[in-house]
């Protein structure tokens, strides 16, 4: 059974009547050599998304003026990966002049929202506790599922665009959270419909009520204006995300059933959102440059000379290798027009700049088949 990138591609090519050279290169060089602005890295939890994000950003930093990695996962791992502390403001990675990291809080502070409305609208009394109508609109708005993440993401995107980085790499949360993030534009549109319908239906009554409660004139318009700005930002970002010249999504998985299944779901959902994806990274691969059948044949010839415990260890290793080979072949079969990169399982953790630099080379130069 084929297991290396070259062997698996050759098997699929033979079955489909294609030439082996027709397959995309098994590397992420296509991303490095592109002019992409937004690069998402995502997949199931625990498959190595953060390591892949860091390695990809390190390679991008070699050819781009400035690169920013943003963690949208509530459980931030970028600080652990690079071995230095990062926060909600961009911090420079040690050893680089043009690579920066942000770890953001995905929740949104509604008290901060009130303060922003007051500052932007210059409304007396809107800061702090606020008036009756503003409070009611806030209650209505905050009851919409995911609205805090939507507003937080919009504020983040406005901030990032003002920073003017050459490329932004998103180290995303596990698949479900990421798909919710990508659905924000349609969610926000529906939310605005509800809010505006409420305001239009009860505008006269609410204005009288607001006056009785000491609500300063225009406070509700300032709050709605802030939300309208959020919608405009999300729509602008959504347009960029749907542009394959500006945005792509790198799917990360491991060679196991649940991870491959989640990857297929992610690819299908990305197609619905019209977001480009044509790269898959398969992490933790046992000897990606070797073939399980050949290794099994070697073991059959030599196991009589090996201790029983050694044979048991090798047998379990080969069983794992054969399972990985099966799912890797399925990946090549399902995604024959994708760049599929097999990243080796190492005998140590990939942590710190030095280790990440070395490991990142495998994204561009896969192991040679032996």
> Residues annotated in the binding site, as ranges?
44-51, 256, 283
338 phi, psi to nearest 5 deg: -100, 155
> Token pair of 189, please?
């549109």
* Pairing outcome for strands 279-285 and 167-171: unpaired
Binding-site entries for ATP? 44-51, 256, 283
Best CA proximity match to 280, nearest among 6, 25, 38: 25
> Token pair of 134, please?
């503003």
Terminal alpha carbon distance of the chain: 14
Residue partners of 277: CB distance under 8 A and separation at least 6: 248, 249, 250, 251, 266, 267, 270, 271, 338
Query: CA angle, 329 as apex, 173 and 8 as ends, to 5°?
Result: 120
Check 73, 171, 276, 291 and give the catalytic one.
73
Rg (CA), the chain: 25
Q: Are the CB atoms for 344 and 287 separated by under 8 Å?
A: yes
- SS3 of 170-237: EECCCHHHHHHHHCHHHHHHHHHHHHHHHHHHHHHHHHHHHHHCCCCCCHHHHHHHHHHHHHHHHHHH
28 phi, psi to nearest 5 deg: -100, 20
CB count, 10 Å around CB of 347?
5
Place of tokens 């599922």: 145
Cα 97 from chain centre? 24
Query: CA angle, 359 as apex, 356 and 360 as ends, to 5°?
Result: 80
Whether 232 is a known active-site residue: answer no
Cα 53 from chain centre? 8
Active site residues: 73
């Amino acid at each position: 059974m084929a297991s290396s990138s070259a062997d698996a591609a050759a098997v699929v090519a033979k079955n489909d009547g294609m030439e082996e050279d027709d397959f995309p290169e098994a590397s992420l060089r296509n991303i490095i050599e592109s002019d992409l602005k937004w690069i998402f890295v995502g997949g199931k939890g625990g498959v190595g998304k953060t390591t892949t994000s860091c390695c990809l950003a390190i390679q991008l930093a070699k050819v781009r003026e400035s690169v920013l990695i943003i963690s949208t996962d509530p459980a931030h791992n970028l600080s652990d990966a690079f071995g230095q502390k990062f926060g909600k403001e961009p911090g420079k990675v040690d050893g680089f002049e043009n690579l920066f990291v942000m770890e953001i809080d995905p929740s949104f502070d509604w008290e901060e929202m009130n303060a922003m409305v007051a500052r932007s609208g210059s409304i007396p009394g809107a800061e702090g506790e606020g008036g009756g109508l503003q409070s009611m609109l806030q209650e209505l708005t905050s009851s919409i599922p995911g609205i805090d993440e939507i507003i937080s993401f919009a504020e983040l995107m406005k901030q990032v665009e003002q920073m003017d980085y050459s490329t932004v790499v998103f180290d995303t949360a596990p698949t479900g959270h990421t798909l919710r993030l990508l659905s924000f534009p349609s969610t926000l549109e529906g939310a605005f419909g509800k809010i505006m319908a409420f305001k239009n239906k009860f505008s006269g009554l609410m204005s009288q009520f607001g006056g009785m409660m000491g609500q300063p004139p225009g406070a509700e318009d300032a709050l709605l204006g802030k939300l309208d700005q959020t919608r405009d930002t999300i729509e602008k970002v959504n347009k960029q995300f749907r542009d394959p010249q500006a945005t792509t999504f790198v799917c990360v998985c491991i060679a196991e059933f649940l991870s491959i299944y989640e990857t297929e779901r992610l690819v299908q959902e990305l197609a619905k959102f019209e977001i480009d994806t044509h790269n898959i990274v398969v992490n933790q691969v046992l000897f990606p440059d070797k073939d399980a059948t050949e290794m099994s044949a070697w073991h059959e010839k030599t196991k009589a000379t090996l201790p029983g415990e050694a044979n048991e260890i090798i047998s379990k290793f080969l069983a794992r290798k054969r399972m990985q080979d099966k799912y890797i072949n399925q990946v090549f079969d399902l995604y024959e027009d994708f760049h599929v990169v097999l990243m080796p399982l190492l005998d140590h953790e990939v942590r710190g700049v030095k280790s990440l630099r070395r490991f990142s080379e495998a994204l561009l130069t896969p192991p040679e088949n032996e």
